[in-house]
Amino acid sequence: MTLFERVFNGNDAVYGLTEAAIDNAIAQHGADKAVSFPNTAYSLPCYYGVTGTKVGNLGDLKNALGVVKTLMTRENRLNDAFMSGVATALCAEFIEVLKYIDGAAPYAEPCYGHLADAIIRELGVPLVTGDIPGVAVILGSAPTAEEGVALVKSYQAQGILVTLVGGIIDQCEEMGYKTGANVRVIPLGKDVTSVIHVVSVAVRAALIFGNITPGDAAGLMKYTFERVPAFVNAFGPLDDVVVACGAGAIALGFPVITNETENIFRVPKSLIVQEDVSKFNATSLEARDIKIKITNIDIPVAFASAFEGEIIRRG
């Protein structure tokens, strides 16, 4: 199967789920039922960023899905794959927002789910100053928990903001590794769709700091490509849905580094196969052109600005 076919399949699968979920929600609550993420002024930030349209209720959401469908063209061109990737991301946002109906709190410790505007504003300044030199999105389960945690730790020590999706969250818990916004390791959620909450960060960064007009999709993608130093580490096995999400990430300018070797195509600077997880860090930083000067202080504990907000509890 070609890479584009995998993207299209993944997109179709997510679209199908989204459509069913929205129809279900409408059947249950009616089309006038309000939908929103908590603590944001940007409605559904990704959809708003790409289309400039705010979504208020389930009826709007259904209409929005119609717009998303128009992005799902099926020519064998990268533009189509990119747009299908974006469409997949938007579907994920729709699925996620449904979880918040009626002020529900779908995410529990340690997962964050949707991130509030306040967190983005707080992280935005260090991102711009380079104090946070990059954003890592780690997705799936590392071959072993040790390797997974070592990878997270390596980024954290470089001051990179780390977001976690899926099995890696359990692996951190299993190893008793401390996570949280205060130490800049943010578990988002266990479903793959929760990856949208970090995309939402990039999009809102473009709207807040980049002064991108909502709806200027090209400007948005250019901004994220040039200014948001994010990258994705996706552990194999990768299903088509993850590949479709990856296309969305690449469309925004974020390279994907994976240890998957089956049915995968390599794309220079964009989709890189690195079988050795211990080299994910170096591979990712080079792929995203992130240069970090680190003075290694030989001390028995980790040292980085990421630990500045760490809380030391009694006992």
Partner 1 sequence: MGNFKLTTVEEFEAATNRLLETGAKVGADAWQLRVKNQTPHCKFGEQGVCCRICSMGPCRITPKAPRGICGCDVHGIVARNYLKFTAGGSATHSDHGREICHTLYCSSPDGAYKVKDPEKLMKIAKEWGVETEGKDIYDLAHEVAVLGLEEYGKVFGTQRFLKRAPKHTQEIWEREEIAPRAIDREVSCSLHMTHMGCSSLPEALIRQSLRSGLSDGWGGSMAGTEFSDVLFGTPKPIDTEANLGVMEVENVNIVVHGHDPSLSEMICEYADDPEMIAYAKSKGAKGITVSGVCCTSNEVAMRRGIPMAGNFLQQENVVLTGACEAIVVDVQCIFPALGPLSKCFHTKFITTSPIAQMPDSEFIRFNAETAAENAKAIVKAAIDNFENRKPDLVYIPDMKQKATVGYSLEAIVKTLDGVTNSQVDELGTTKPLIECITSGVIRGAVAMVGCNNPKIRPDSAHIELMKKLIANDVIIVASGCSAQAAAKAGLMDKQAKDLCGAGLKRVCELADIPPVLHMGSCVDISRMMNLVAELAKDSGLNISQLPVVGCAPEWMSEKAVSIGNYVVATGIDTYLGVDPYVSGSDKVAELLTSGIRDWVEAAYTVEKDIDKLGDAMMARIEEKRAALGI
Q: Pick the closer one to partner 1 by CB: 185 or 287.
A: 287
Q: Is 4 an interacting residue with respect to partner 1 (CB under 8 A)? A: yes
- Yes or no: say if 193 and 96 are a contact pair by the CB < 8 Å rule: yes
> Between β-strands 271-273 and 256-258, what pairing exists: parallel, antiparallel or unpaired?
parallel
Q: Is 2 an interacting residue with respect to partner 1 (CB under 8 A)? A: yes
Q: Pick the closer one to partner 1 by CB: 169 or 277.
A: 277
Q: How far is the CB of 283 from partner 1 (least distance, A)?
A: 4
Please work out, in degrees rounded to the nearest 5, the angle formed at the alpha carbon of residue 224 by the alpha carbons of 220 and 226. Answer: 115
From the list 213, 238, 167, 212, the residue with the least C-alpha distance to 1 is: 238
Q: Is 256 an interacting residue with respect to partner 1 (CB under 8 A)? A: no
Q: Pick the closer one to partner 1 by CB: 225 or 303.
A: 225
| Interaction residues for partner 1, span 84-143 (CB under 8 A) | none
Q: Is 77 an interacting residue with respect to partner 1 (CB under 8 A)? A: yes
- Give bridge partners of residue 187 from the DSSP assignment: 164
Q: Considering only residues 269, 291, 294, 302, which one is a binding residue for partner 1 as defined by CB under 8 A?
A: 269
Q: Is 265 an interacting residue with respect to partner 1 (CB under 8 A)? A: yes
Q: Considering only residues 272, 277, 290, 306, which one is a binding residue for partner 1 as defined by CB under 8 A?
A: 272
Q: Is 213 an interacting residue with respect to partner 1 (CB under 8 A)? A: no
Q: How far is the CB of 87 from partner 1 (least distance, A)?
A: 14
Q: How far is the CB of 55 from partner 1 (least distance, A)?
A: 26
Q: Considering only residues 39, 76, 213, 261, which one is a binding residue for partner 1 as defined by CB under 8 A?
A: 76
H helices of 74-144, in order, are 78-98, 117-129
Q: Is 220 an interacting residue with respect to partner 1 (CB under 8 A)? A: no
Stretch that binds partner 1, among 37-45, 55-63, 131-139, 278-286 (CB under 8 A): 278-286
SS (H, E, C) 161-209: EEEEECHHHHHHHHCCCCCEHHHCEEEEECCHHHHHHHHHHHHHHHHHC
Q: How far is the CB of 226 from partner 1 (least distance, A)?
A: 10
Q: Is 252 an interacting residue with respect to partner 1 (CB under 8 A)? A: no
Please work out, in degrees rounded to the nearest 5, the angle formed at the alpha carbon of residue 243 by the alpha carbons of 43 and 85. Answer: 40
Q: Is 176 an interacting residue with respect to partner 1 (CB under 8 A)? A: no
Q: Is 259 an interacting residue with respect to partner 1 (CB under 8 A)? A: no
**278 token code pair:** 């211990």
Q: Considering only residues 74, 121, 178, 266, which one is a binding residue for partner 1 as defined by CB under 8 A?
A: 266
* Coil, strand or helix at 103: helix
Show Cβ contacts of residue 251 under 8 Å, excluding neighbours closer than 6 positions. 82, 83, 85, 86, 221
Residues 282-311, one symbol each (x = binds partner 1 by CB under 8 A, - = not), give: xx--xx------------------------
Q: Pick the closer one to partner 1 by CB: 64 or 251.
A: 251
Task: Count Cα atoms within 13 angstroms, Cβ side, for 130.
Answer: 5
The footprint of partner 1 (CB under 8 A) covers: 1-4, 76-79, 81-82, 265-274, 279, 282-283, 286-287
